[in-house]
Structure 1
Amino acid sequence: MGRPEAGQRFEEIYLAYYADLLAYIRRRVDSHDDAADALAETFATAWRRLPDVPDAHAARLWLYGVARRVLANGRRTATRRSALVERLGGQLARWAESTAPPDDDLEAVRAAFGRLYADDREVLALVTWEGLTSDEVAVVLGCSPGAARSRLHRARKRLARELSHAGVDVARYGVRALALAGRKV
């Protein structure tokens, strides 16, 4: 089948069955975005496999079958993603417990971290939570490596001062461990 002929056939199929497929998919998903994605994937499959698409009314049924498989794949993907998120959440919780100060200081640490300027919180989070080096932080912040190191040093000093005012023994944990405790898991 030549390309112009294929394009015309696809357009005819699309126009004839778009509304039916959208209704079919929309009744099976929770959001308009999910419906749009599934519909697009269904028609992308139809385009790739245009020679396999039957003629007339059978095309509609064939498209329903494709849409059904697209939706099933989406559900499987969501299930795998949920399982992964749950597993990672458990791992993060265990890791947080192993790196966080005792619970009696945790709220004080979070409050002290929250009192910092947003720029201080960001530079501390990039280094502590994301594990970036000061050179990498410089790229993220769009500044020189020297400026990033300076910002990090000042942010650590301000966090230590906030923690000291809150009565948290900074020497016992270190500013890095306390900054880790400020993150939201």
Structure 2
Amino acid sequence: MRPTAEDEFRELFEQNFRELLGYALRRCGSADDAADVVADTMLVAWRRFDEVPADGTARLWLYGVARRVLANHRRGVQRRDRLGERLRVELEDVVPDHADGVEANAVLIAALDGLSETDRELLMLTTWESLDPQEVAVVLDVPARVVRTRLHRARGRLRKRLGDAFADHGHVRDDRALRPAQEER
């Protein structure tokens, strides 16, 4: 009985798999990548089985295929790495690094904790809840002018507690400087 193409391919695979895997392992960064290279090499051999030499040089032909598959694999890795780097750079521009604010948040939380409950609530309502003094007046059930006066004094006490950390020409740079601490609380 004459062997089928599938039988001949299985024999080709069994005779050359170990050598091809060794070839790929010595050239790839990981065993998974090497296995992918061998799998792709054998896929090419299956698809082009009629081109596999029958004169005893099939192993050499497979090495040539593996060499080209490996080159394609390396180019793909380089493309992926370049794309990943571009994305990292773009993400740095779009997504802030919260690690940069950890120390500032710790200073801010400590300063807020040192304030009275009333001062803390006024600052949190205006910065974290984005309420204006008239709205805070409704929440606290006090006149708006009282809220404005208390808020001015609370900001002054916070500036004093923060010292130079958030002071800029005697003013808190921006109430938004208080907002990152909300994530920590």
Residue in 2 that maps onto 1:43 = 42
- For residue 17 of structure 2, what is the aligned residue in structure 1? 18
Q: Using the TM superposition, give the Cα deviation of residue 11 of structure 1 relative to its aligned residue in structure 2, in angstroms.
A: 1.2
Q: Which runs of 5+ in 2 are unaligned?
A: 107-119, 131-174
Q: CA deviation at 1:33?
A: 1.0
CA RMSD of aligned residues (A): 3.5
Task: Describe the shift of the 1:110–1:5 C-alpha distance in structure 2 as closer, same or farther (beyond 3 A).
Answer: farther
Structure 1 gaps of 5+ residues are 112-163
1:130 aligns with: none
Larger radius of gyration: 2
Structure with higher RCO (Cα < 8 A, 6+ apart): 1
Say whether 1:107 aligns with 2:106. no
The aligned residue for residue 154 of structure 1 is none
Q: d(CA) in 2 for partners of 1:57 and 1:109?
A: 71
Q: TM-score, normalised by structure 1?
A: 0.54
Residues of 2 paired with 1:75 and 1:55: CA distance? Answer: 30
Residue type at the aligned position of 2:22:
A
Q: Deviations over 1:78-136 (max 9, x none)?
A: 10011001101110101124xx79x5xx216988xxxxxxxxxxxxxxxxxxxxxxxxx
Map 1:46-61 → 2, pairs under 5 A? 46-61=45-60
Provide the C-alpha distance between the structure 2 equivalents of 1:74 and 1:16, rounded to a whole number of angstroms: 24
- Equivalent in the alignment of 2:88: 89
Q: Output aligned runs, 1:126-137, within 5 Å.
A: none
- May I ask how many residue pairs the two structures share in their alignment? 120
Identity of aligned residues (%): 42
